[in-house]
Structure 1
Amino acid sequence: MSTPRTHPHARPAGGAEIRSLTVLPACRDDVELHTADGLTLVGELARPLGADGGPARPAATLVTLHPLPTHGGFMDSHVLRKASWRLPALADLAVLRFNTRGTASPRGTSEGTFDGGDAERFDVHAAIEFAEFHDLPRRWLVGWSFGTELALMHGRDPGIEGAILLSPPLHRATDADLDAWDAFGKPLVVLVPELDDYLRPEQARARFARVRHAEVIGVDGAKHLWVGEPAVRRVLDEIVGHVLPGHPLPLPTHWSGTVTDPAEESA
């Protein structure tokens, strides 16, 4: 990994509101993942900032899986990006984001080509192995849309503690995958927008009934893309509440330390 870095435009703030472009302090490293079929994937690891300016040991780790790359999904899809911008500071979480094979973002382009969720199994395994190798504790998968399919199909790894699914379409993942997760026995938390384009709460409860320990949470007023700060905050609160039971919620909406000034970022 590269030398830990904080954001170059951080500045003191007195109780600044956390808005859509706010970046809170963290150690952020550009990283590379290496798959069993020989590809290099690009990503970023955000960790809590220690008192010495280096990374502190996180309380838990989110291994994130982004939405469908053929429809604009990538490691910077906004909910995952905001998780990496906020949760290391607000909840002492490490957040690993990466581009699956053939996916591009400002961070770079991962090698390979999109394979519809099949060869992406190697990408999921590489991310989990990266987290294990770097001794990142209490690893949870967090998938969004297409990323939920990857989690269900390929994420049943003994190295994870559970999975959180955001807007699962259940297009590629089958009942057999749900049955396999039921047998796997790890926690499965399913956040379903009330107004989702593909699978709404009542349908989701019926489909996920096959996973006896699944918790399906319908989110009133939300849509598939979780647009708007209220939706984002609800998602981040649910993630923290399940990964770190007992952590104070809701998460703060203001920060009295250092934040990124979006105006400076664009200057």
Structure 2
Amino acid sequence: MQIRASTVLPAEREPITLQTADGLRLVGELARPAGREPVATLLTLHPLPTHGGMMDSHVYRKAAYRLPALAGVAVLRFNTRGTSSRQGTSEGGFGDGETERYDVAAAIEYAEFAELPHPWLVGWSFGTELALRWGADPLVEGAVLLSPPLRRAGDADLDAWAEFGRPLVALVPEFDDYLRPPEARERFARVPQAEVLGVEGAKHLWVGESSVRTVLNEIVRRVAPAAHPLPTEWDGPYETDSAFD
């Protein structure tokens, strides 16, 4: 069977609640590989909630549906404060990237408490700003940034990540609305360990199966290299999520 946009591969999925240091409860889900320990963990930070971003934003939903089975990777998704999805609404209100620092910390702390191995941050758009500003935690092994706008996050945050020294990978669409590959390479030059990958033909929202596969393959290349490249066919049991395209 070819893996399609709506394909749901086997995993152990459970709803979780993240508790922030400022007293909020955040709605989330953890998808683990079925019947085995994960080899790495993705802590996902979603796009701007005031423009529709949430834990079910399509790249993260597909990561949770595929990567536990295909790569042995655990995927933790959650709604930042005030954000809603079909799983529910997290407490609090949008903090424009400031108070969300507590949300990032809560996800990292949950990974430590649950003994999830080798946590990597994966930020998308607004989520990349959260990763850059608040993700330089000793427990984090690195970060993958999807469509980084570098608006709320600036040179000081890049300098801090350079000092942090952990891997930083930026996937920048050729036709991004905010930051395109040539400028991204200039901006990220402040971070010696940063890798900027321009993705031909892609746009900010990574619409289309080709774009999704590129993103998931590049993530897996860094966090679970033995599983790269990801297969496009699956012979085992599967489900179909009829709620989404």
- Provide TM-score, normalisation by structure 1: 0.90
Q: 1:100 aligns with which of 80, 102, 111?
A: 80
Percent of pairs with identical residues: 68
Match of 2:203 in 1: 223
Change (3 A) 1:171 1:122: same
Match of 1:147 in 2: 127
Q: 1:185 aligns with which of 165, 183, 201?
A: 165
What's the offset of the Cα at 1:154? 0.2
For the 8 Å contact 2:54–2:79, the answer to whether it is kept is yes
Structure 1 vs Structure 2 CA RMSD: 1.0
Matches within 5 A, 1:244-259: 244-245=224-225, 247-259=226-238
- Paired with 2:41 and 2:105, the residues of 1 have a C-alpha distance of 15
- Determine which structure has more spread, i.e. the larger CA radius of gyration: 1
1:80 correspondence with 2:55: no
Q: 1:34 aligns with which of 6, 19, 31?
A: 19
- Paired with 1:219 and 1:83, the residues of 2 have a C-alpha distance of 18
Q: 2:5 aligns with which of 20, 23, 36?
A: 20
Match of 1:261 in 2: 240
Matches within 5 A, 1:167-246: 167-245=147-225
- Paired with 1:72 and 1:58, the residues of 2 have a C-alpha distance of 30
What's the offset of the Cα at 1:249? 2.9
- Provide TM-score, normalisation by structure 2: 0.98
Match of 2:95 in 1: 115
- Paired with 2:240 and 2:72, the residues of 1 have a C-alpha distance of 22
SS at 2:170 equivalent = strand
- Paired with 1:76 and 1:67, the residues of 2 have a C-alpha distance of 10
- Paired with 2:81 and 2:179, the residues of 1 have a C-alpha distance of 26
Match of 1:59 in 2: 39
**Counterpart of 2:231 in structure 1: which amino acid?**
P
Match of 1:166 in 2: 146
For the 8 Å contact 2:70–2:227, the answer to whether it is kept is no
What's the offset of the Cα at 1:248? 4.1
**Counterpart of 1:182 in structure 2: which amino acid?**
A
Change (3 A) 1:108 1:260: same
Query: How many pairs are equivalent?
Result: 244
What's the offset of the Cα at 1:250? 2.3
Once the two structures are superposed, residues 82-116 of structure 1 have per-residue CA deviations (whole angstroms, 9 ceiling, x without a partner) of 00000000000000000000000000000000010
Once the two structures are superposed, residues 233-263 of structure 1 have per-residue CA deviations (whole angstroms, 9 ceiling, x without a partner) of 0000000001123x24321111100111346
SS at 1:32 equivalent = strand
SS at 2:81 equivalent = coil
Structure 2 gaps of 5+ residues are none
4+ residue runs over 4 A deviation: none
**Counterpart of 1:253 in structure 2: which amino acid?**
T
SS at 1:239 equivalent = helix
For the 8 Å contact 2:158–2:188, the answer to whether it is kept is yes
SS at 2:8 equivalent = coil
Once the two structures are superposed, residues 187-206 of structure 1 have per-residue CA deviations (whole angstroms, 9 ceiling, x without a partner) of 00000000000000000000
For the 8 Å contact 2:121–2:142, the answer to whether it is kept is yes
SS at 2:187 equivalent = helix
